[in-house]
Amino acid sequence: MARAHRVSSTVTLIAALYVIALPFALSLFTRTSDAEKLNDYYRPLMSEAGINRFRTNLGIVNDGGTELYDVTLPRLQRDLGMNETQFNDYVAQNFPHVAIFLRYAPELVKYLNPATEAVLAQKDNFHDADQFPVAKIRMDLGPYALIVLGSILALIGLVIRSGASRLATLAALAIGVGLLFGPLLLGWFHQTDAAEKVAQAARPPFSPAVANTVVNDIYKIDAAFTEMRQGMFPVIGRQLGYTPAATDNYLHSNFPKTMRFLDEWDTQLHQGAHELSLSQIQFMDEFHNADATPYRALPWLVMAPGTALLFASGDALRRRSAKSDVEEVA
């Protein structure tokens, strides 16, 4: 029994050191802090309301962009009495920002929609990952909880070693059961798997090449739309003999989807697009730091000391009980 007593104390102290060392070994203080910053920023976007609003805006962009190319520009070209080459030269000479946008916009659309859908498809995974480690409790409190738990285990191990071991051994057993079965009951395997899937989808947007490209594209779009609204359309309107009011009525009557796109860009899409694209650069370091967390390994790393505590404490209690039975018989 003395041997089991020593083993239980030793295992408990080793488990305590392991639990205390875990946050430092995995850099969990900074990684969970950065993960919490990302969650706080993107949680409204990935909410049901945020996803619906984003999809609505994406529909406005797609509808407006399609009409711009298929209807608006060909109609303006005809109204000005130009062929396609003349119209393209006219735009390039007088409205350079619009010309740049018209050249690269088809390529932009090719990656915009698939990339956006890939991120939005992670809504459920984002929600599940956001529940880790315990729903409605900040993730960055986890490393401190491990420090506290490890300190408690160290105290229990010392108490077991001192000889006052039954209650202390029971406490070690209870903590072992909690560490072993807690991740299962809390759904950590599913949550950390969801976190890995979210991270996988987010890696391309948070790469320097993609993030910088998106930011540059948003500024090009902004410059083109400003030039379109303040320069190109008024000039074409005057060439067609329209007053400013008549030009505005002509545009909204004939090209409603294009003008809705431009109007929505001015009122709300512009700010949201800039903030979202800049966030890819703003939080790039935080993402890569948080992404270094071994998500899928975390449940196993917590369950390992629980298994050791369960066997060592259970064996010590079993031997104590067996000795008590023998003494009663004697």
User: Two tokens at 68?
Assistant: 């711009």
- Domain total of the chain: 2
254 vs 94: CA distance, rounded Å: 23
User: 149 with 55, same domain?
Assistant: no
Please say whether the beta carbons of 58 and 116 come within 8 A. Answer: yes
| Helix (H) / strand (E) containing 149 | helix 142-162
Q: Look at residues 204, 206, 189, 223 and name the one whose alpha carbon lies nearest to residue 301.
A: 189
Q: What is the DSSP letter of 253?
A: H
Per-residue model confidence as pLDDT tens digits over 4-24: 778 889 999 999 999 999 999
If asked whether residues 112 and 216 sit together in one domain, one would say: yes
Do 52 and 116 belong to one domain? yes
In a domain, 153, yes or no: yes
Residue 165 domain-assigned? yes
Nearest to 144 by CA among 20, 48, 3: 20
Checking if the pLDDT of 264 tops 60, the result is: yes
129: buried, middle or exposed (CB in 10 Å: 19+, 13-18, 0-12)? buried
* pLDDT band at residue 326 using 50, 70 and 90 as cut-offs: very low
d(CA 31, CA 42): 16
The tokens describing 289, both together, are 């730091």
Is residue 129 situated within a structural domain?
Answer: no
Alpha-carbon span 220 to 101, nearest angstrom: 7
DSSP 316: H
In this structure, the answer to whether residues 107 and 154 fall within a common structural domain is no
Residue 231 counted as domain residue: yes
**Helix, strand, coil fractions of the chain, as percent rounded to 5:** 85, 0, 15
Q: Can you give the residue range of the structural domain that contains 162?
A: 1-45+139-200+295-330
Q: Helix or strand or coil: residue 163?
A: coil
With a cut of 90, say whether residue 301 has pLDDT above it.
yes
Is position 269 within any domain? yes
131 part of a folded domain: no
Q: Which tens digits make up the pLDDT trace of 150-179? A: 999 999 999 998 876 789 999 999 999 999
Q: What percent of the chain has pLDDT over 90?
A: 76
Kindly indicate the confidence band of residue 321, based on its pLDDT and cuts at 50, 70 and 90. low
Residues 194 and 213 in one domain: no
Same domain, 53 and 114: yes
Residue 213 shares a structural domain with residue 252:
yes
* In a shared domain, residues 211 and 107: yes
Which tokens is 225 given? 């739309």
d(CA 309, CA 229): 70
pLDDT (average), residues 278-299: 96
**Residue 60 lies inside a defined structural domain of this protein:** yes
Based on the domain organization, do 213 and 277 belong to the same domain? yes
* Domain assignment present for 258: yes
Is 185 in the same domain as 314?
Answer: yes
Same domain, 41 and 57: no
Whether residues 221 and 322 fall in one domain: no
Q: Smallest Cα–Cα separation from 193: which of 41, 292, 297?
A: 297
The structure tokens 């018989």 sit at 329
